[in-house]
Chains A and B, each alone.
Chain A
Amino acid sequence: MTFFLGCAGTETGTMKRVRLLLAAAMAFCCATGFAARAQEEGPAFVPKIPDRQSWSFAGPFGVYDTAQLQRGYKIYREVCANCHSMEDMHFRNLADPGGPEFTEGQVKALAAEFKVTDGPDDNGKMFKRPGRPADPFPRPFPNEQTAKLANGGAVPPDMSVLAKARSYEPYDWFPADIGYALWSMLTQYQTQGPDYISALLQGFKKPPPGFKIEPGQNYNEVFAAGNGIIAMPPPLQDGVVQYPKGPDGKPVVPETVEQYSKDVAAFLMWVAEPKLDYRKQLGLEVMIYLLAAAGLMYFVKKKVWAKVHA
């Protein structure tokens, strides 16, 4: 009972003391960690650890939310595709089961919005034509050099597997780091990628006082790789992408940076792991089959060995 009360805000004396102790321990660990860093590289940038979010595709029974993937695709198409490629994706994939599941007709139309380089033709010339479902998504920049030139020296990374290519360690002290790893494994926590992307898109904050930033650079509170400095300008603002409207003429979900970030992160997770729905569905069947087999083998083994254990 005291436990529930404690949670409700009326902490008992012991709980308070435990919390204080924990806080002090953490403060100590952090302080010593910071001190060590500060000596090396001046005033330290401490990246914000992305919050753990709830995703429809998390957990053993999680599946993608089709409407969310469709919204996410719209954001990719209208915003991110200006700078980021997605080479392993084909337009046809947009119709795949367990994806945004656009209809064949929609996919044809969506593909035709892009201009694709084809050729050479009979005259030996390359030419442009509207995209077809079988085409891969075209790259926004013809080569790395152009991409660098247009983006202040940084190449916008390809988005095919980006959502699987980012992770972070929230704790760097023993035994919290091990505990976190084991806990993630037990609870199947695998959405660090989308958690990170959505936090990054919302992480364009005012730099703290004294933080030096060159023109053309941007401050981002979660971008650890660049010590807080990222070449990507904040790509999203409230209202830049129109969402589908409900019967009342208002968008069904809010047109905010927060919502955009989540939707595009979910879309990028699908891009990186398009077979996730099917994988988990098949996994369930396999697990049931194996459990049944294990049960059966258990009894067979018992029966066979009964004679020997006489």
Chain B
Amino acid sequence: MSQARMVKLEKDILSKNNEYADANRKMFAERGVLALNLVSSPGSGKTTLLCRTIDALRGKLPIAVIEGDQQTSSDADRIRATGAPAIQVNTGKGCHLDAHMVGHAADHLDLAEGGLLLVENVGNLVCPAGFDLGEAHKVVVLSITEGEDKPLKYPDMFAAADLMLLNKTDLLPHLDFDVEACIANARKVNPRIKVLRVSARTGEGMSDWTAWIGAARAMALTGHPLAAELKGAA
């Protein structure tokens, strides 16, 4: 039996994931791909919103989708029905996508230069917050049926997101959801978070959301050769 000794590590527990995330980020930057990581609780409307987004941006830029789900592949089928390439990643017991899974899926998708990659994370407002996928932005979707206290109950997710989409605004007349209180709660955990109100059902607010995507894409393409082309097209 050898002598016990101390080993100093000072190593980040998620360092492996972060290395994969850095590799993904580099690959997205080289291809001029804007990657967005959509996070929410189950049923907030991510897949519906993605389908509607693909319809709104059809012909304007190439879009691919990675669908994270614990079991089924029905969300990827819904995306493929729109004509966009989609790949399903089943995480099994895993409650979040990690950067390694996303890197693999992105390889299979053969992302078009200058395109948009939309990642639908596993429906869960806790775990995906800590796992960087190499995305440019986390976008948290909160539907108004979930209650205005959610940003305070899941502060890590709202702190990690750059944009909050308040979805299902078509239901506002039927509920006593306080939009301003919800936004104030989100700003308590993240003073910089941007907020857009949308309805994936009626299409309300979709043009604001696609305008945000356009701006984020211009940012992602800064310094990339494709930026000139984008400018010419605008």
Physical interaction between A and B: no
